[in-house]
Each structure stands twice: as C-alpha cells, then as structure tokens.
Amino acid sequence: MIDEKQQTKALDADLSELFLRQSQKALLLRQESYGLRIERLKKLKAWVLANTTKIRDAVYSDFKKPEFEADLSETFVVLADINLALKSLKKWTKPKSVPAGLTYFGSSAFVHYEPKGVCLIISPWNYPFNLCIGPLVSAIAAGNTAIIKPSELTPNTSQVIAQMVGELFPQEEVAVYQGGPEITQRLLQLPFNHIFFTGSSAVGKIVMEAAAKNLSSVTLELGGKSPVIIDKTANLKDAAEKIVWGKLLNCGQTCVSPDYLFIHESVRESFMEHLKYFLETLFKQPGENFKETPNYARIINKKHYQRLCQALSTAIEDGASLVYGGDVDETENFISPTVLDNVPLHTTLMKEEIFGPILPVNTFKNHDEVIQYINGQPKALSLYLFSNDKRIQKRYRLETSSGTACVNDVVVQFQQPHLPFGGVNESGIGKSHGHFGFLAFSNEKAWLKQRVGFTSAKLLYPPYSAAKKRILNILMKYF
Ligand code: NAD
C-alpha cells in the first residue's frame, strides 16, 4: 500500500517534471510570431464547435444546467472570446511606441508584450467550461504555456476539458490536472509566472498567500454580494424582468448575479407585482412547477443546498417575510425561486454571498442611506442601478466602488468584450476578458533604445557642478 506521503511525493515529482517541460517550452513560445498563436486558437475553436453537444451534456449531467444556458453561457461566450482574439491579436501583440520627449531626445522607446511564461489556471464549478477555457484563450493569445485545474464539483465537464486539451495540445504546452483542493495545494508550491484563479474570496486568499512565496503575479476573479438598487424613476416592469432573468440564470449560481435588492419604498408594491409576474412566466409556463421546467438548473450539491436552506430559515426566524417560493426538495438539491421581504441586515442572507435563487428585498427612503450601507460592505463584484435619473446614476458612479456596474440591466456587462471584467479588493484583483485578459497574461516590458555615445542624462552625470544644478532646476520647473 502506498501511503499518503508517498503519493504526495510522487505527485510533486510529476508536477515538477511537467513544470520544467512547460518552462522550456515557454522559452520557445516567447520567440514565436503571433501567427502560431492564431493557429492554436483556431484549433481550439474548431474543437468547441464540433463538440457543443458533448459540452452541453456534460454540464447537464453535472447540475442539470439547461441546454440553452449551456450553449449560451459556456460555449457561445468561449467562442466569442476566441473570435475577438483572432480578430485583434495582431494589434494586441504589436509593440506600442511611446514618445521620447525632450528629456529622452535621440532615443526610441516602446512597450513589448512578452508572454509571462508558465501559467496556472484554477477554476470554479458554476460555469465550469467557460471559466476554464476563457482564461486559457487569453493565456494562449498572450503566448504562454498553461496548467489547468478545473473544479472537482463538475467532474463530467472537467473530463471533457481534459479530453479536449489532450487532443489539441502537447502536455508541455497545455495540461490539465483534475482533483480537489489537495491538487491545487500541490500546484501552488510551484513558481508559476502567473496564477489566474476564479473562485471564492476565501480560497482567493489561500492562492494569493501561496503566490506570494514565489512572487507569482495573480489575477483573482472572486465573488461577493452584488447589490441592486431600484429608484423611484425606474421602469419597474423592465427592471423586474431583467432581475428575474439575472437571478434565475444558472439557478442564481452566477458570480455577477443580483444578490440583494434595495427598492424605494414608494414603488415597492408595484414592483413586487411585476416581479411575481415574471417569476411565474419567464422560466416556465404559468401554473407549471419549477421542477418541471427544463429551463431551471439545480443547486450544485448537498452542502450548498443545506447552506441555502439554513440561511433561508434563519432569515424567516429573524423576521423576514416570505413573499414568493420557498419550496425545497433535498432529493434533487432543488430550491425554487424565493423572494423575501424586510430581511434583517445582520442575517446570513444579507451578510454572505447567496449564490442561489433567493432574493432578499429591503426598502429605502433616500439614496444616502443606501450608499452608506454599500460603502460599509466589502467591495462588490457588480452593482446594479435601475434609475432614469442621471444625477442618481452619477452619484452611484462616483460615490460607490465595485469591480463592474450596470445601469438599467443586470449581468450583461460580463460579456461586453471591450470592457474589463473583474472585482476590486474583496471581489478580486486584476482584470480579464478580451484585451484585458491578454494583458493579464503578458508582461508589459519597457524597451528603450539609446544612440551609442549619446545620452541626454550625461548632462547630469557627476561632478554635480553649480551649472548642472541650474539645469536640473530648470528641468524641475518645466517638465
Ligand atoms: P471555490 O473557491 O470553492 O473553488 C475554486 C477552485 O479552488 C476549485 O478548483 C477548487 O478545487 C479550489 N479550491 C477549493 N478549496 C481550496 C483550498 N482550500 N485550497 C486550494 N484550492 C481550493 O469556489 P467555487 O465554489 O468553485 O465557486 C464559487 C465561487 O466562485 C463564488 O464565490 C463565486 O462568486 C466565485 N466566482 C467568481 C467569478 C468571477 O469571475 N469573479 C466567476 C465564477 C465564480
């Protein structure tokens, strides 16, 4: 019998050997033209297009993710990422000249986008294909090698990812390691040039601490509570429809899902009517049970199911009123869309990321109290404001901080390919998507070329005479 220690030793040896091979390959990739990266991305695109059914079936068997949502939020978004990279890579990789100015007269300078090297991509279970392969697209576009650690909670999708990578890339270019935290812990011992982690803030801290030992750079795409504010000037019907869609997508298990809602007290009743209407009709036929519709996913596992049931029942015990839903079934990890009113601010539902189909609603009288509340919480990944008042929109833009924000819609800012995506502090560090993803996996190397025998800095070489002091004074005044 091989004991645990020996197994860890064997795993470490295996990982070190792979890391070494990827490091050697990374040196070669650094010298390649962008055309070869395009070839890799095209291979990836062709595989995804040829295997949409396989991806769809895998995420369905992992947590009954509806077919349409799998196509939309796993496959389509990855294809869109690849297409943008294919279209833009020539521009992204082109060195960017910077002006020399008078002080650097005679020199030329530019930013060279160098691949970081060997990268680690750790992903969560909630969009198991998209959040693994999206970062891989950026890593490949930027010319890196990568080791991927998909989530152990979606084993069917992880298996598809391993198969795809195995068919498309030699291990020294891209490799997949499946398993849980124990594998991540071993991987984190290695001196990666960049670590791209998507997951909870708690594990993000573990990743950052491990990265610090090797001074590996990190992108941390984390979670948190994304507030929704509905002003009295909002179009309530439009707001209700969009919020129901964003909240029930993936059964509320979306990092940018509307987490909790503050509504102006004067429009609460009218909004609740619209909300109930769309809850009844958007994902199912009126009168149909949410269990019967193929459009509604399940909670990923028993642990999360129990966590949500507990948060729901303690909120009700503490005074919240159940306005809609509240049906649960442990045999299927099923929780129906649930709306609660007057939810005390100290409850788990208002303190921790919900990550499920439960929407707490509270009212407000004026925006000062909402802004003050938001600023007293950890910084959100997203903030949603429904308002037609430009002054109010400006107040939230200037007076609150969040990774992303969206006015009069929810979730869609995630997929705007020309916007950076990511959190701030507790909700994340660094940005991803499109050009920002390319930059996350690139070292922006400063390159300055001087004329031989000349440098304007010579004017200030020692000895530091009075004349040189006068030149420096002039420079300090005018530059
Ligand atoms: P998680 O943090 O539990 O797991 C993420 C990854 O870390 C998995 O691969 C897991 O195996 C690994 N891991 C878990 N515990 C670990 C440990 N102790 N040591 C080392 N590695 C460990 O997250 P999750 O439950 O898979 O995903 C849900 C969370 O991810 C939510 O908080 C959500 O908001 C966040 N999320 C963020 C984004 C984003 O883009 N910002 C996207 C999706 C999900």
Quick: pLDDT tens for 189-204: 999 999 999 999 999 9
Answer whether residue 441 shows pLDDT above 80.
Answer: yes
Length of the chain: 479
Return all residues near 348 (Cβ < 8 A) that are at least 6 apart: 310, 311, 314, 315
Is the separation of the CB atoms in 352 and 311 below 8 Å?
yes
- In this prediction, residue 2 has a pLDDT band, given cuts at 50, 70 and 90, of low
Distance 198 CA to ligand 1 centre (A): 6
Is the separation of the CB atoms in 371 and 396 below 8 Å?
yes
Both structure tokens of 308: 């949500």
- In this prediction, residue 1 has a pLDDT band, given cuts at 50, 70 and 90, of low
Is the separation of the CB atoms in 300 and 253 below 8 Å?
yes
Secondary structure (3-state) at 400: coil
The H or E element that residue 42 is part of is helix 34-50
Please report the atom of ligand 1 found closest to the CA of residue 421: 40
Please report the atom of ligand 1 found closest to the CA of residue 127: 43
Quick: pLDDT tens for 287-321: 899 999 999 999 999 999 999 999 999 999 999 99
Is the separation of the CB atoms in 442 and 116 below 8 Å?
yes
Distance 130 CA to ligand 1 centre (A): 14
Quick: pLDDT tens for 376-431: 999 999 999 999 999 999 999 999 999 999 999 999 999 898 999 999 999 999 99
Give the mean model confidence (pLDDT) for residues 436-447: 98
| Average pLDDT of the chain, as a whole number | 96
Is the alpha carbon torsion for 13, 18, 21, 23 positive or negative?
Answer: negative
Number of C-beta neighbours around residue 50 at 10 A:
9
CA distance 351 to 376: 11
Quick: pLDDT tens for 62-90: 989 999 999 999 999 999 999 999 999 99
Q: Which of 221, 241, 265, 273 is catalytic?
A: 221
Quick: pLDDT tens for 118-168: 999 999 999 999 999 999 999 999 999 999 999 999 999 999 999 999 999
- Residue that is written with structure tokens 């099923």 in the block: 334
Answer whether residue 273 shows pLDDT above 60.
Answer: yes
Give the mean model confidence (pLDDT) for residues 268-282: 97
The H or E element that residue 340 is part of is strand 338-341
pLDDT at 444: 98
Distance 461 CA to ligand 1 centre (A): 53
C-alpha neighbours within 13 Å on the C-beta side of residue 435: 11
What's the whole-model pTM score? 0.95
pLDDT at 408: 98
Query: What are the structural domains of the chain?
Result: 4-222+432-443 (3.40.605.10), 227-421 (3.40.309.10)
Both structure tokens of 433: 């998507």
CA distance 203 to 138: 22
Number of C-beta neighbours around residue 343 at 10 A:
22
Helical axes 155-168 vs 52-63, angle rounded to 10°: 150
Secondary structure (3-state) at 331: helix
The H or E element that residue 148 is part of is strand 145-149
CA distance 145 to 29: 8
197, 220, 255: which to mutate for ligand 1, most atoms within 8 A of CB? 255
Is the separation of the CB atoms in 456 and 159 below 8 Å?
no
pLDDT at 412: 96
C-alpha neighbours within 13 Å on the C-beta side of residue 355: 22
Helices (H) and strands (E) in the chain, counts: 17, 18
Distance 223 CA to ligand 1 centre (A): 9
Q: What residues are paired with 198 via a beta bridge?
A: 221
126, 190, 404: which to mutate for ligand 1, most atoms within 8 A of CB? 126
Greatest Cα-to-Cα distance within the chain, rounded to the nearest angstrom: 89
**At residue 415, what are phi and psi to the nearest 5 degrees?**
-105, 10
Both structure tokens of 130: 């998209």
Distance 121 CA to ligand 1 centre (A): 12
Residues with CB under 6 A from ligand 1: 122-126, 131, 149, 151-152, 180-181, 184-185, 198-200, 203, 206, 221-223, 255, 353, 355, 381, 423, 428
Please report the atom of ligand 1 found closest to the CA of residue 300: 25
Please report the atom of ligand 1 found closest to the CA of residue 179: 11
pLDDT at 454: 79
CA distance 176 to 309: 34
Give the mean model confidence (pLDDT) for residues 453-478: 87
Secondary structure (3-state) at 342: coil
- The residue among 401, 271, 291, 412 whose CA lies nearest residue 357 is 291
The reply to whether 221 belongs to the active site is: yes
C-alpha neighbours within 13 Å on the C-beta side of residue 181: 7
Answer whether residue 227 shows pLDDT above 70.
Answer: yes
C-alpha neighbours within 13 Å on the C-beta side of residue 316: 16
Please report the atom of ligand 1 found closest to the CA of residue 428: 41
Distance 199 CA to ligand 1 centre (A): 3
Task: Report which protein residue has its CA nearest ligand 1's atom 21.
Answer: 181
> How far is CA 346 from each of CA 226, 261, 318, 351, rounded to the nearest angstrom?
17, 15, 9, 7
